[in-house]
Structure 1
Amino acid sequence: MTNFKTPRTIIATPNAPAAIGTYSQAVNANGTVYLSGQIGLDPKTGEMVDGIDAQIVQVFENLKAVTEAAGGSLSHIVKLNVFLTDLGNFAKVNETMAKYFSEPYPARAAVGVASLPRGAQVEADAVMVL
């Protein structure tokens, strides 16, 4: 069996919340960037922003900061996963997402979950191709 090692670069930026566990903000593997989940933490204070609307905006701002640190932009995202503690907020995610993305939109999944870290109401992760 051959042991292949994929070159990878760890992406980190102070413009998004620092990793709070055993993970990186993002990893670039041969031009495909895997972005870790972002919740509505303000990177300046480390505190959760108030309310679902503000959390959705902050999630996209955090993803935007990581994509830019990796040398791309939100338009380079090909797959987006959104996790919601209340699927009743799905329309709010769509409304806010339309302010950050334009057609053609990335592939996306939206999943209802029981809970998220730090009491977040929404989290999103993504895959970006440079």
Structure 2
Amino acid sequence: MENNKITRRNPEGMPDPVGNYTHITKIPRNAELYVTSGQIGTGSTGELPESFNLQLTNTFDNIKKVLQAEQLSAENIIKVNIWATEKIDWDFMYTEWSQLFGEDYPAMTIGYLTELGLPEIKVEIEIWAAKV
């Protein structure tokens, strides 16, 4: 492994991931760390759609905008935390996920909650990223 590159792997002896993520992501010493607030599904005009999947699409769009503002890309993402109030449609989710990551997946945690910051918010995604 290179000391100046973000690396992702699934250690030997570990069960395969049950989804599109990697068990461990390593950042090199002295990398710059970026942590986003949880991104939600508001659209460009501030509206929050009723549909979970529309909120999810907007959330990924907002993540891309936050990354671009710091000249970051999916390659810089080291950890994703996802919170949802409804069951996730995994086919739809992985379509959005693969548009962002391709097949180079970061570490990921998912939790289901009864409510997020506002009752109409159905999904919130927090990103941790590093720039080497």
Q: TM-score, normalised by structure 2?
A: 0.68
Residues 58-95 of structure 1: CA distance to partner in whole angstroms, max 9, x if unpaired? 11110110011112112211100111112343443223
Using the alignment, how far apart are the partners of 2:47 and 2:117 within structure 1?
Answer: 12
Q: CA deviation at 1:46?
A: 1.4
Structure 2 counterparts to residues 32-71 of structure 1, below 5 A: 32-42=33-43, 44-71=44-71
> Counterparts of 1:90 and 1:110 in 2: how far apart (Å)?
12
| Structure 1 unmatched ranges of 5 or more | 1-29
Residue 79 of structure 2 corresponds to which residue in structure 1? 79
State the distance in 2 between where 1:52 and 1:127 align: 23
User: Helix, strand or coil for the counterpart of 1:37?
Assistant: coil
Task: Give the residue type in structure 1 aligned to 2:109.
Answer: A
Letter in 1 for 2:74: L
Give, in whole Å, the separation in 2 of the partners of 1:116 and 1:124: 11
How far apart, CA to CA, are the structure 1 residues paired with 2:87 and 2:114? 11
Partner of 2:125: 124
- C-alpha distance 68-111 of structure 1, shift in aligned 2 (>3 A): same
1:104 and 2:100 correspond: no
2:113 corresponds to 1:113: yes
In percent, how many aligned pairs have the same letter? 27
SS of 1:83's partner is: strand
Question: For 1:71, what is the secondary structure of its paired residue?
Answer: coil
Alignment of 1:2-41 (within 5 A): 31-41=32-42
- Which residue type is aligned with residue 121 of structure 2? A
Following superposition, which runs of at least 4 residues in structure 1 exceed 4 angstroms of deviation? none
Higher helix proportion: 1
What are structure 2's unaligned runs of at least 5 residues?
Answer: 1-30
Q: Which has the higher contact order (CA 8 A, sep 6+)?
A: 2
Alignment: residue pair count: 101
- For 1:49 and 1:113, the matched residues in 2 are separated by 19
TM-score by length of 1: 0.69
RMSD: 1.9
